[in-house]
Amino acid sequence: MSKLEEEIARRRTFAIISHPDAGKTTLTEKLLLYGGAIHLAGSVKARRAARHATSDWMEMEKERGISVTSSVLQFDYEGKRINLLDTPGHVDFSEDTYRTLIAADSAVMLLDNRRGVETQTRKLFDVCRRRRLPIFTFVNKCDRAGEDPLKLLDDVQEELGIDVYPMTWPILRGNDFLGVYDRQDGKILLFAKGEDHGQTRIAEEEAELGSDALRTLLGEQAHDRLAEEIELLDLAGADFDKDAFLRGEVTPAFFGSALTNFGVEPFLRSFLSLAPEPPPREAEERTVEPTEPSFSGFVFKIQANMDPRHRDRIAFVRICSGRFEGGMSVRHIRSGKPIRLSAPQQVMARSREAMEEAYAGDVVGIHDRGSLRVGDSLSENGDLEYAGIPRFSPEHFARVEVPDPLRRKHLDKGLRQLSEEGAAQVFYSEGLAGPAPIVGAVGQLQFDVLLHRLEHEYGVTASLERMPFRHARWVEGSEEAVRRVAQGFGRAQVSDARGRPMILFDSEWNLRNTVNDETDVVFHDVAP
């Protein structure tokens, strides 16, 4: 096996998806802790404490205790290079999550042990299923009383239509979560609760089912119930089918508590043995194998002002094939021009280190002066173009107003950069003083983030005037036809940041009737 093949074979790139408050940021921290990337896990609950979660690096994330942007976190564990793509759990930032899932090779679906499958979980699972991503399931918060484990897994199978294979099983004494039974090696792992609220690794001890020590620890009744549950699991179905897992047809399930670290390391070990290596990727021209020697990749995220002292702009590139090295020249497919990828960064949320090389499966941060956009393809050899990343139609719209007209240039720059990184979508309508900016968002909280970042990163104090529209569609047709359709009741015409015409609608009923009735105009829910 060549050096290139060896390096690619040890890459694992995945995203964590969940409903808000399922504990995703906490689990991310603990994976970093066990991977040796950090030595002290941040306190996610106690936001007044000195430490915060590594993945929540924005000031607004620290203030509110939520994740509002995707983070890229890289670390090594047991010889594997792990690229962890942390995503926002809040539904208002689901578009950022959708983009990140395109860069992932597998996903971890995190469930709250009291709530099971929730609305946002279903939406994100559907995205994974469309991409046929292998999915792991981690049932979190088992340190507190929750639903019966069998019922939780039955709900996953029934609601999501995917088979479930429990890899670990919770060991309970009443409501006390003591450990897990690892079905892969038949071991019982008991955990010792630490005194530092999960900031450091915990000790684990092996025990034998049926042993006097385990009977004494659990009590006769709890021990016999555990033995019955394990026997039931063994009788219930066939062995784990890894090929079906890789096709996205079965999900291995794990139980644990990210807060106390119980069950985190057994999950991480199983993850490394099951998660896929970087797979082939479909380009417009052909299928691209990761082991092809020539570099290729695509931009799935852009983040401005990660370093507030330098007002920089970083493009996150998922490498799809070959070897990347700093300073290499590649073809920027959209423009057809060569571009030099200078000063590449290995990323750990906001922290970055200069790197010399990376391989297919890795995510690298590239300094960008404004030439790159989300969805752009880069190729060292030929015109390999990966499928674009769609923008979703916003559901909230507002005019941007700035009291100080002297800050208009700063506003335009801020809106352009925030739009390019996907924080919001920007449209323009013709007014008496020229094009007036309108922002569109999938969720209300995106507006709060937009105003916060305009003020703190671009020095612009702005306000928003809400508009009554709930849907938008790109349109194709003659100028006269587009103008006529847009003049209907409850509609308005705007242009997107690239000058493409769009029509806004005040209701789904208005949108549906217009699309059905108007044959002179073609409507698109993603950019044509």
Q: What is the 3-state secondary structure (H, E, C) of 462-497?
A: CEEEECCCCEEEEEECCHHHHHHHHCCCCEEEEEEC
Query: Quick check: is 493 in a domain?
Result: yes
Please report, for residues 469, 482, 492, 499, the alpha-carbon distance to residue 485 in angstroms, rounded to integers and kept in the order given.
15, 5, 9, 18
Do 256 and 114 sit in the same domain of this protein?
yes
pLDDT at 341: 85
Strand, helix or coil for residue 124:
helix
Do 335 and 435 sit in the same domain of this protein?
no
In contact, 142 and 255? CB cutoff 8 Å: yes
Do 302 and 445 sit in the same domain of this protein?
no
Closest CA to 437 of 461, 463, 415, 404: 415
Query: Quick check: is 268 in a domain?
Result: yes
Query: Quick check: is 384 in a domain?
Result: no
Query: Quick check: is 246 in a domain?
Result: yes
Q: Which of residues 240, 274, 308 is at a domain's end? A: 274
Q: Which of residues 245, 274, 303 is at a domain's end? A: 274
Query: Quick check: is 390 in a domain?
Result: no
pLDDT at 345: 63
Chain-centroid distance of CA 131 in Å reads 14
pLDDT at 25: 82
- CATH of residue 403's domain is 3.30.70.3280
Q: What is the pLDDT of residues 448-470, one digit of tens each?
A: 888 888 888 888 898 889 999 99
Region for residue 197 given its phi and psi (left: phi exceeds 0; alpha: psi -120 to 50; beta: otherwise): left
In this predicted structure, the answer to whether residue 43 has a pLDDT above a threshold of 70 is no
Do 348 and 286 sit in the same domain of this protein?
yes
Q: Write out the residue range of the structural domain in which residue 358 sits.
A: 281-379
Do 270 and 285 sit in the same domain of this protein?
no
Q: Please tell me the total count of domains within the chain.
A: 3
Q: What is the pLDDT of residues 144-190, one digit of tens each?
A: 888 889 899 999 999 888 999 999 999 888 778 888 999 888 888 88
pTM of the model: 0.78
Query: Quick check: is 473 in a domain?
Result: yes
Q: How far apart are CA 123 and CA 395, in angstroms?
A: 16
Do 354 and 254 sit in the same domain of this protein?
no
Q: What is the pLDDT of residues 211-235, one digit of tens each?
A: 888 888 888 888 888 888 888 888 8
Q: What is the pLDDT of residues 469-520, one digit of tens each?
A: 998 899 999 999 999 999 999 999 998 878 889 999 999 999 999 999 999 9
Do 268 and 288 sit in the same domain of this protein?
no
Q: How far apart are CA 454 and CA 410, in angstroms?
A: 9
Residue listed under structure tokens 């205790």: 65
Q: Which of residues 274, 305, 335 is at a domain's end? A: 274
Do 370 and 335 sit in the same domain of this protein?
yes
Do 307 and 448 sit in the same domain of this protein?
no
Q: pLDDT band for position 270 (50/70/90)? A: very high
Do 457 and 308 sit in the same domain of this protein?
no
pLDDT at 88: 59
Query: Quick check: is 2 in a domain?
Result: no
Beta strands in 10-69, from DSSP E residues, in sequence order? 11-18
Q: How far apart are CA 347 and CA 340, in angstroms?
A: 19
Under DSSP, the state recorded for 251 is: E
Do 356 and 459 sit in the same domain of this protein?
no
- CATH of residue 323's domain is 3.40.50.300
Higher pLDDT, 406 or 204: 406
* Cβ partners under 8 Å of residue 443, min gap 6: 90, 91, 92, 93, 94, 395, 396
pLDDT at 249: 92
Query: Quick check: is 77 in a domain?
Result: no
Q: What is the mean pLDDT of the chain?
A: 82
In this predicted structure, the answer to whether residue 11 has a pLDDT above a threshold of 80 is yes
Do 294 and 270 sit in the same domain of this protein?
no
Task: State the chain's maximal CA–CA distance in angstroms.
Answer: 85
